[in-house]
Amino acid sequence: MQKNLLIVFAKNKIFGKVKTRLAKTIGDQAAFEVYETLFHITERESCAVRNADVEVHYSHHIDQESWVACLKYIQVGETLGDRMKNAFLAGFKAGYHNIIGIGADLPEIRHEIIEQGFEALTQNDFVFGPAEDGGYYMVGMSKSEGKYIFENKPWSTSELMDITKAEIAKKGDSAQLFEVLNDIDTIEDLEKSEIGEKFNSFVLKGKTNK
């Protein structure tokens, strides 16, 4: 057991249930294939992290074919904040010192960013990877008391990161921010991402059908 824990919060690959905003533009099949690509990028990069144990917390059911060497759980909680808080608290209870959580929809996630996040947690209470939409793609903490960042927050809004930073500063805690990256929720996100070219035909088809 290492002192660091990486938790991947992964939606299961369920047709018609992933990337629903994107699907409104390019259709369920294309959106599913986009998410499947992101899912496997996340699997590859998280499994490459060398300074942490890895757990995967699925949205609906345990996927036996992915993250085969990792511990797997089902997310617990009504809201996104509840699910993250419960997972982090369980990790601290298990004896981990530093915990980072990521989602599974970021084309640019790299294991080096996560490893650097754990290094930063040796000197900071929190680390974040801010997303272009105002949220964050990576969140980490070095103490269970940091659970407050998951409570009473405007999830899926452009104010999330700013509100969270302000609360941390007010409490006198420290945070290090990493580079801003773009997760994929809309066709515009897809077009400017590094996997956009792969799905260019879907994007063009989606635009034609708008």
Secondary structure (DSSP) of 41-109:
HHHHHHHT-SSSEEEEEESSS--TTSSTTSEEEE--SSSHHHHHHHHHHHHHHTT-SEEEEE-S--TT-
Closest residue by Cα to residue 161 from 193, 186, 126, 125: 126
* 208 found inside a domain: no
SS (H, E, C) 20-37: HHHHHHHCHHHHHHHHHH
pTM: 0.93
Nearby residues of 87 by Cβ (< 8 Å), 6 or more positions away: 7, 9, 55, 57, 73, 75, 76, 101
Whole-number pLDDT of residue 196: 76
The answer to whether residue 209 sits within a structural domain is no
User: What does the alpha-carbon distance between residue 17 and residue 121 come to, in Å, rounded to a whole number?
Assistant: 34
Residue 47 lies in a domain: yes
What is d(CA 2, CA 5) in angstroms, rounded to the nearest whole number?
7
Residue whose C-alpha is closest to residue 145's, from 186, 173, 169: 173
How far apart CA 39 and CA 94 sit, in angstroms, is 26
State the CATH number of the domain containing residue 54: 3.90.550.10
Cβ neighbors of 208 (< 8 A, separation 6 or more) are: none
Helix extents (H) in 121-171: 160-171
- Please report, in tens digits, the pLDDT of each residue of the chain (210 residues total): 899 999 999 999 999 999 999 999 889 998 999 999 999 999 999 999 999 999 999 999 999 999 999 999 999 999 999 999 999 999 999 999 999 999 999 999 999 999 999 999 999 999 999 999 999 999 999 999 999 999 999 998 999 999 999 999 999 999 999 999 988 888 888 888 878 777 765 554 554 444
Q: How much is the pLDDT for 208?
A: 40
- Domain assignment present for 185: yes
Q: Which domain holds residue 24?
A: 4-200
Q: Tally the domains of the chain.
A: 1
- DSSP assignment letter at 131: B
Residue 184, pLDDT score: 87
Its sign, for the CA torsion 23, 25, 30, 35, is negative
Q: What tokens were used for 54?
A: 């890895």
Q: How confident is the model at residue 174, as a pLDDT? A: 98
Please report whether residue 112 resides in a domain. Answer: yes
* pLDDT of amino acid 210: 44
Asked if residue 43 is part of any domain, the answer here is: yes
Query: CA 114, CA 48: separation in Å to the nearest integer?
Result: 10
Instruction: Report yes or no on 207 lying in a domain.
Output: no
Residue 209: what pLDDT? 47
Taking the C-alpha atoms of residue 105 and residue 127, their distance in angstroms, rounded to an integer, is: 19
**In this predicted structure, what is the pLDDT of residue 116?**
98
